[in-house]
């Protein structure tokens, strides 16, 4: 990361990104800067993003440095402590929902219903009859609830179950437990109004409006270069700068808000929090857990007390981030992967687009050598410390050419280089189950079916007027 400035305004943050980009290009190109063009950067971007000295890193040594987790890995006392944190509203849950599903081509993932996913699978089969993806579930048998609302309902559903039978106290009032929770949902500019209004119209699914926080991830311009200087090009297209940018925007002034519908006029009201107020909320949290909205395991298990207990234990040992390693899939996937860096003497998470000539996103055989992927399920014990780091520093840019312009594509996983980070792995080793490409549509429908079949789940949806 590069420091040291206050980036509490969007203008200040964007300026720091520009400076970071200039510094990265100066370092890479040196005396070639005067003749540099974005066309040349496009030819060089694989090497430009490459992790330094990746050739000396060792993916085979990762297993020796993982924290192995089983249901028996934490004590009954640690589970009770995790339960108390959860029931007491001392964990903030972040849903990363700004993604626009560019590989799926179906728009914002949060809004995808099972019927829309099934329709896309049918159209795919008509266009490519030799590559039909079977539809394992009759779509009309599934409740027409979007992926994002399913995430929120599952969280509330699991809280109700936990409140009804806590291990260390009599049953609690589920409504009070639900209202004690803090959540943070990251949205994009195109669909944010629809989603925020949906929250308000459904009484925030029982959550407290004041504790149901939102961030709208603003898109940014692309950059061009002229006379050795990088600048934001007003001719470029506004695009999302990836999920590292999402995390930084949470620290900025005028970004985090809660919303309600004004009973007097029916209008949606937004109430913005100052960065100091956000920091105060984070200071009161024992942990923050960040989930991608496309995670399928979440649809039947939104609360994992063993993971939380392990994060709290690791937090007490001084770690400020935990990541989860899962096995590489078949066919192999791109994304964050783990390797051992002997220079740092620790396991690090590197994006596959930083693999240089060793790991290439466009080469399945190259991706297959990855033993452990990052599940994108990140936990941050004592989360205010991570927030403060992001508030004063800039993540690496992962510079990428799109449409003849240069865009930063920072990733939240790069926080593992600045925060003391532990990597956990469940035994038996799991694989990523998420909705990234259309081939994942079938398991997504199966996961939605399993969710609908939970006793009382659809009753909860009816209670909130969703179906």
The pLDDT assigned to 166 comes to: 81
Measured from the Cβ of residue 91, the count of other Cβ atoms closer than 10 Å reads 24
The answer, yes or no, to whether residue 5 has pLDDT greater than 60, is no
Taking residues 196-222, report their average pLDDT: 96
Token duo for residue 205: 């699914």
Lowest mean pLDDT among 84-88, 156-160, 213-217, 374-378: 374-378
Share of the chain above pLDDT 90, in %: 83
CA within 13 Å, CB half, 134: 4
The answer, yes or no, to whether residue 2 has pLDDT greater than 60, is no
Dihedrals phi, psi of 331, to nearest 5 degrees: -65, 160
The answer, yes or no, to whether residue 165 has pLDDT greater than 60, is yes
- Distances in Å between the Cα of 364 and the Cα atoms of 47, 56, 195, 368 are 19, 22, 37, 6
The pLDDT assigned to 376 comes to: 87
Token duo for residue 21: 């980009």
Lowest mean pLDDT among 56-70, 91-105, 235-249: 91-105
The pLDDT assigned to 397 comes to: 87
Grouping H, G, I as helix, E, B as strand and the rest as coil, residue 454 is coil
| CA nearest to 124, candidates 441, 444, 448 | 441
Taking residues 274-291, report their average pLDDT: 97
Token duo for residue 199: 């929250």
Q: Which residues contact 153 (CB under 8 A, 6 or more apart)?
A: 145, 205, 457, 460, 461, 464, 466
The pLDDT assigned to 100 comes to: 66
- CATH of segment(s) 10-463: 3.90.550.10
The answer, yes or no, to whether residue 26 has pLDDT greater than 50, is yes
Lowest mean pLDDT among 94-108, 118-132, 248-262: 94-108
The pLDDT assigned to 135 comes to: 93
The pLDDT assigned to 195 comes to: 96
The answer, yes or no, to whether residue 7 has pLDDT greater than 80, is no
CA distance 168 to 161: 14
Containing 216, the helix (H) or strand (E) segment is: strand 212-217
pTM, rounded to two decimals:
0.94
The pLDDT assigned to 3 comes to: 42
The pLDDT assigned to 8 comes to: 86
Dihedrals phi, psi of 195, to nearest 5 degrees: -75, -45
pLDDT band at 461 (very low <50, low <70, confident <90, very high): very high
Per the prediction, the chain carries an average pLDDT of: 93
The answer, yes or no, to whether residue 400 has pLDDT greater than 60, is yes
Grouping H, G, I as helix, E, B as strand and the rest as coil, residue 310 is helix
Grouping H, G, I as helix, E, B as strand and the rest as coil, residue 437 is coil
The pLDDT assigned to 49 comes to: 93
The pLDDT assigned to 414 comes to: 94
The answer, yes or no, to whether residue 6 has pLDDT greater than 80, is no
CA within 13 Å, CB half, 290: 24
- 117 vs 436, which has greater pLDDT? 117
Token duo for residue 328: 């590489």
Q: Which residues contact 419 (CB under 8 A, 6 or more apart)?
A: 319, 320, 321, 380, 385, 386, 389
Q: Which residues contact 359 (CB under 8 A, 6 or more apart)?
A: 54, 337, 352, 366, 367, 369, 370
The pLDDT assigned to 230 comes to: 97
């Amino acid at each position: 990361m590069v420091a040291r400035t206050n980036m509490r305004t969007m203008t200040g943050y964007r300026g720091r990104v520009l400076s970071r980009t200039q510094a990265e290009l100066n370092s890479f190109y040196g005396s070639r800067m005067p003749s540099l063009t974005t066309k040349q950067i496009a030819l060089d971007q694989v090497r430009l993003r490459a992790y330094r000295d990746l050739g000396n890193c060792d993916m085979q040594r990762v297993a020796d440095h993982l924290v192995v987790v089983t249901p028996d890995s934490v004590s009954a006392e640690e589970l009770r402590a995790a339960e108390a944190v959860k029931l007491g509203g001392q964990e903030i849950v972040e849903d990363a929902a700004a993604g626009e599903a560019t590989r799926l081509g179906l728009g914002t993932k949060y809004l995808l219903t099972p019927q829309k996913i099934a329709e896309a699978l049918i159209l795919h089969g008509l266009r490519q009859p030799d590559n039909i993806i079977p539809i394992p579930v009759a779509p009309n048998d599934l409740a027409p609830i979007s992926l994002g609302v399913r995430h929120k309902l599952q969280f509330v559903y699991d809280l109700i179950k936990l409140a009804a039978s806590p291990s260390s106290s009599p049953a609690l009032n589920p409504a009070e437990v639900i209202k004690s929770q803090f959540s943070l949902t990251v949205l994009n500019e195109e669909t944010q109004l629809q989603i925020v209004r949906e929250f308000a119209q459904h009484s925030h699914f029982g959550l407290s409006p004041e504790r149901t926080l939102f961030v709208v991830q603003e898109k940014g311009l692309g950059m061009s270069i002229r006379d050795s200087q990088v600048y934001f090009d007003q001719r470029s297209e506004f695009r999302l700068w990836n999920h590292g940018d999402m995390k930084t925007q949470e620290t900025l002034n005028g970004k985090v808000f809660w919303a309600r519908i004004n009973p007097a006029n029916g209008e949606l009201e937004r109430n913005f929090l100052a960065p100091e107020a956000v920091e105060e909320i984070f200071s009161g949290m024992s942990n923050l857990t960040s989930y991608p909205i496309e995670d399928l395991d979440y649809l039947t298990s939104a609360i994992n007390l063993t993971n939380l207990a392990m994060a709290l234990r690791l937090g007490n040992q001084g770690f400020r981030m935990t990541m989860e390693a899962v096995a590489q899939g078949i066919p192999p996937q791109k994304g964050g992967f783990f390797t051992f860096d002997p220079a740092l003497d620790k396991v690090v998470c590197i994006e596959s687009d930083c693999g240089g000539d060793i790991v290439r996103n466009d080469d399945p055989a190259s991706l297959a050598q990855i033993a452990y992927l990052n599940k994108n399920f990140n936990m941050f014990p004592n989360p205010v410390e991570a927030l403060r780091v992001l508030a004063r520093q800039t993540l690496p840019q992962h510079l990428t050419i799109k449409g003849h312009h240069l865009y930063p594509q920072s990733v939240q996983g790069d926080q593992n280089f600045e925060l003391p980070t532990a990597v956990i792995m469940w035994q038996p080793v799991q694989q990523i189950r998420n909705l990234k490409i259309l081939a994942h549509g079938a398991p997504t429908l199966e996961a939605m079916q399993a969710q609908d079949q939970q006793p009382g789940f659809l009753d909860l949806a009816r209670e909130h007027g969703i179906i």
